[in-house]
Amino acid sequence: MIGVHMVLVILGVLVLAVGAGLGLAAVVAGWMPPGPGRAKVLRPRVWGYGTLVAMAGIGTYLFVGPLQGPDMGHFPVAMSGMAVFGVGLYVQRRAFRPARKTSS
Instruction: Convert the pLDDT of each residue in 2-49 to its tens digit.
Output: 899 899 999 999 999 999 999 999 999 999 999 988 889 999 999 999
Would residue 99 count as lying in a domain?
no
- Give CA–CA dist 76/6, Å, rounded: 24
Task: List % helix, strand, coil for the chain (3-state, nearest 5).
Answer: 65, 0, 35
Number of domains in the chain: 1
Per-residue pLDDT band for 104 (boundaries 50, 70, 90) equals low
Would residue 9 count as lying in a domain?
yes
Would residue 39 count as lying in a domain?
yes
Would residue 101 count as lying in a domain?
no
Would residue 90 count as lying in a domain?
yes
Query: What percentage of the chain has pLDDT greater than the value 70?
Result: 99
Q: Which of 52, 23, 42, 21 has its CA nearest to residue 94?
A: 42
Would residue 77 count as lying in a domain?
yes
Would residue 100 count as lying in a domain?
no
Tens-digit pLDDT profile for residues 67-88: 887 777 888 999 999 999 999 9
User: Where in the sequence is the domain holding 49, given as residue range(s)?
Assistant: 4-94
